[in-house]
Structure 1
Amino acid sequence: MMFANKKHFITAIVGALIAFSIIALVLCLVRIEDVTLPATVKYGMVFDAGSSHTSLFVYEWDSDKENDTGMVSQTLSCDVQGQGISSYTNDPPKAGDSLRECLDKALKVVPAAKQRDVPVYLGATAGMRLLREQNSSAADRVLAEVAKTLQEYPVAFKGARILTGEEEGAYGWITINYLLDSFTKYSPKSHTWVRPEAADIFGALDLGGASTQISFMPGSSVINWKEAFKLTLYGYNYNIYTHSYLCYGQNEMLKRLAKELITESSSSTRVDHPCYPKDYTETVSLSSFRTSPCTNPSDMRLTLGDRNVTLEGRGNASKCLDAIKKLFNFSACGQRQDCTFDGVYQPPISGRFIAFSAFYYNFKFLNLTKGQSLATVRETIEHFCTRSWEDLSSSYPEENPDRLPKYCANANYILTLLLDAYKFNETSWNNIIFQMKAGSASVGWTLGYMLNLTNMIPAEAPARVKGHIPSLWAAAIAFIVLTLALGLAALLLFLWV
């Protein structure tokens, strides 16, 4: 009787354990819930159609964006062969054809399955702004041909447009502060992206071929300033000052400088150029000044005609600086301190600045990007300007011979722009950092443009599918193994007794 009771008791235990195992197994198999999958990678392309050349940048970011702003990184950069698209006014289809080589390279880095969803933008800057002023129909034809080419590719073409100077400046400002983690940075402690408690917001100084831009956040004491550009990034609002000066880019400045020297000269065929190296000569056609609104005054056509003029280098640093300062209308500001030139308002500069594009390239050549004092910068430029053409060409055999004689003028122009126009001084000069890259990404307006445009791309909800929750699966398996082990132990105990 006792044996029978024990047998029934053990049988009951084994049966219960087996039943629990079956229930757990069923729960494991039928317990289905929504599971979040990892974010997918998205891509975007931006063409920077500048005044002298065009570049293509490919960016990527995760689809689950941070506060509606994608964490964008640069995947590829490609320089388009040839001049800027504004140079193709006589043959607009070539403007579109010039983009094909870089487009083909870009499609090799984007998975084929994603290509048709890749947004592609082309932003044209000061070169096309000048062309639009001079001949709006020609500018429209160039943009139409560019759009036609881009529409032939298996991508989501979003348009080719001419950016305003203020947009160009603001997007450059975004790029800089994004790359330097001024907006947000990853916190290993909280395992998320957070806004730095004391965000160090940088200003942006951009110098292109046809325009130059300054963008920064004014100090807290400045509240009634006129030119504001409003942005929302990572859930925060930013109001920045930005201004673009058309015709004050490096290439247009050199043309304007030559035109003024020719106009003021008593000679009609040979003109002294204080910024060019001694013994260097350059012949220019007066008709070339009519290709840009920046150098196309009616009086030149009437008084000087279309003859050729030879510019003869004199290598005089002080006269070079004086000639360049005449390109600015500083008198329009009167005694105002909140004014740059031509009567343009600017609040006092505040904080640190990144100077890129031609600011960087000119100072890099002169080895002035390592934080040298203003006195050292001035001394270096003055010494460089006194060197002869023979000395320079033998010292820099690999430098582009068209660019080499222009560094003296470019450097003095940068000094005039930063010190006399923007009003940096001996102290604040140390707040300018000459830099062209941050990490592996190029500094420029295109990344900021892409970052801002990700707000227009709907923030995708993370993909969800039916599946097993990992923790539940592990717990169920562990319980099944345990119950089966206990059941086996009970069975062995039963057989033993």
Structure 2
Amino acid sequence: MKPAVSVLLLVLLAVAGLSRAQVKTSLLDLANSIGSVLPSLSRPANSSRIFYGVMFDAGSTGTRIHVYTFIQSDSDLPVLDNEMFHSIKPGLSAYSDSPEMAGHTVRMLLKVAKKTVPRLEWKRTPVVLRATAGLRLLPPEKAQALLAQVQDAFDESPFLVPNNSVSIMNGTNEGILAWVTVNFLTGHLNAQIKNTVGILDLGGGSTQITFLPKLRKTIESAPGPDYIARFDMFNSTYELYTHSYLGNGLMAARLATLGALGAEGLEWRVFRSSCLPKKFRDEWSFGGLTYQVSGIPDGYAGYKLCYQEVLKVVKGIIHQPYELKDSNIFYAFSYYFDRAVDAGLIDGAQGGLLQVRDFKKRAKEVCNKMTKYRPVSPFLCMDMTYITCLLKDGFGFKENTMLQLTKKVNNVEASWALGATFDHFRNLKIH
């Protein structure tokens, strides 16, 4: 692929639109609402000037569809005219014992694509699904059964189904593609700019850290070759420190903190934690399983005890890179952003700049006044304490490290999805 074409494709992705809105939609609600949520195209469909792409993000807590409308301009510079986004909860992994529901979920979301993409363009519009930690955590045979149902739904659809259109994304690629997206959108991949930003992504099943080291010792002291990734872009070679920790996403960390990871006898066991309100008891579901959870009615609760519980989920598992002290500004998104909003640290529309100590301070307040924050989420103490522990005792950030909490960068979703779309378009040579 010519360098000029790859630059054009990166520019086309730089002008993308919607964020990963927190749409909690049931299948029936989605069916009823498709007509009302779809935007009208800003230009009439013209097959010689407009083309489309459909990307499914199959995460551990939900399945999302991105329908992109691209325009080829007179100067041969394509631009992104529109993005349609919708999501369904729970994620595909919740249907590990009913894989046909995975196909049903995708068929429902494909209706969004049919409504957005003109009928004449269906046959030339590629559909792609990439699954993340939710499916990585499943036994291989169950994950493949779910993917087979998705593949069937794609094959039945009127869209173009490329080779390898349905797969589980490698955790390292997840971090790299998010890093490429954020650094491109912030202008840090310009050849004249030597500084870049790091990314911290906290999903439900896994968490990723990716940054460009300034010190050779950071590369040399990495635990293994799977912590380092090299790739070429803009006539430059980048050597990144990047790693994905499967099982250290926010929801998987809840399970581990509760001692429920891989537990049996779920129908009669109650999993207790000092991170939960004393009088709290309820059911909680993740990955297709339901757990009985509660606080400790006759025990103690609060930040100190909670921190001891979550520390065992982090210590000895998360590697501390040699250089994090004064290296990069880090962009943090997904559950980092969501929980900061829930805890009142940042505005849900604007995001904001926080120090690591801000998470610690608010975690203490939430944990020591659980009844006040219980209406927001009974898990807020556990989640905020885990994030604090992950940043401090896990990755080894200083308390004064600045984090840019964001959902979007220049109106583009801060995640791996756009990077994955670019990567796929490059492979398909759509231009």
Q: Which bracket does the TM-score occupy, shorter chain normalised?
A: 0.7 to 0.9
User: What is residue 379 of structure 2 aligned with on the other side?
Assistant: 406
Deviation at 1:66, TM superposition (A): 11
Q: Please point out which of 99, 124, 132 is paired with 1:92.
A: 99
Partner residue of 2:123 out of 94, 111, 116: 116
**Cα distance in structure 1, aligned partners of 2:119 and 2:192:** 42
Counterpart in 2 of 1:346?
A: 321
Count of residue correspondences: 365
Query: Where does 1:449-460 land on structure 2 (aligned, <5 Å)?
Result: 449-458=420-429, 460=431
Residues of 2 paired with 1:385 and 1:65: CA distance? 58
SS in 2 for 1:363: helix
2:304 to 296, 318, 326: 318
Matches within 5 A, 1:11-410: 40-62=49-71, 75-80=83-88, 82-131=89-138, 134=139, 136-158=140-162, 159-183=165-189, 195=190, 197-198=192-193, 200-222=195-217, 224=220, 226=225, 227-259=227-259, 273-282=273-282, 310-312=294-296, 314-330=300-316, 341=317, 344=319, 346-349=321-324, 350-369=327-346, 370-389=352-371, 391-393=372-374, 396=375, 399=376, 404-410=377-383
Looking at structure 2, the residues matched to 326 and 424 of structure 1 have their Cα atoms a distance apart, in angstroms, of: 18
Match of 1:94, SS state, is: helix
Whole-angstrom CA distance in 1 between matches of 2:310 and 2:74: 47
Deviations 1:143-184 (A, max 9, x none): 11101111222211221100111111111112212322333x
Offset of 1:275 from its aligned partner?
0.8
1:422 aligns with 395
Instruction: Report the 3-state secondary structure (helix = DSSP H, G, I; strand = E; otherwise coil) of the residue aligned with 1:426.
Output: coil
Counterpart Cα distance in 1 of 2:103 and 2:147: 8
Find the residue that maps to 2:313 and give its secondary structure.
Answer: coil
Contact 2:276-2:379 at 8 Å conserved across structures? yes
Q: Residues 177 and 62 from structure 1, CA distance in 2 versus in 1: closer, same or farther, beyond 3 angstroms?
A: farther
1:345 Cα offset (Å): 6.9
- CA shift in 2, pair 1:232/1:453, >3 Å: farther
Counting helix residues as a fraction of each chain, which structure ranks higher? 1
* Rounded Cα–Cα distance in structure 2 between residues aligned with 1:178 and 1:327: 33
Deviation for aligned residue 1:138: 2.0
- Pairwise CA distance, 1:242: 1.1
**Normalised by the size of structure 1, how large is the TM-score?**
0.66
Q: Deviations over 1:270-303 (max 9, x none)?
A: 775211124222468xxx99988xxxxxxxxxxx
- Residue type of the partner of 2:154? L
Unmatched runs of 5 consecutive residues or more in structure 2: 1-46, 347-351
One-letter code of the match for 1:250? L
Give the aligned partner of residue 21 of structure 1.
none
Q: 1:326 to 1:40 in 2, by over 3 A?
A: same
* Counterpart amino acid of residue 122 in structure 2: Q
Conserved? CA contact 1:66–1:234, under 8 Å: no
Work out whether residues 315 and 393 of structure 2, in 8 Å CA contact, stay in contact via their aligned partners in 1.
Answer: no
1: CA distance between counterparts of 2:186 and 2:160?
30
Give 1:327 shift.
1.8
RMSD value, Cα: 3.4
User: Residue type matched to 1:410 in 2?
Assistant: D
Deviation at 1:258, TM superposition (A): 0.9
Whether the 8 Å CA contact 2:275–2:303 is kept in 1: the answer is: yes
Aligned residue in 2 for 1:25:
none
Deviation per CA, 1:119-150: give whole Å up to 9, x if none: 1110001111111xx2x222211111101111
Task: Give aligned-pair identity as a percent.
Answer: 26
Deviation, structure 1 residue 95: 0.6
Unaligned runs of 5+ in 1: 1-37, 184-194, 293-305, 331-340, 461-497
1:220 and 1:425 map into 2 onto residues whose CA distance is: 18
2:150 corresponds to which letter in structure 1? Answer: V
Residue identity matched to 1:124: A
Q: CA contact under 8 A between 2:314 and 2:393: conserved in structure 1?
A: no
Separation in 1 of the partners of 2:380 and 2:151? 36
The question of whether the paired residues in 1 share the 8 Å contact of 2:103 and 2:150 is answered with yes
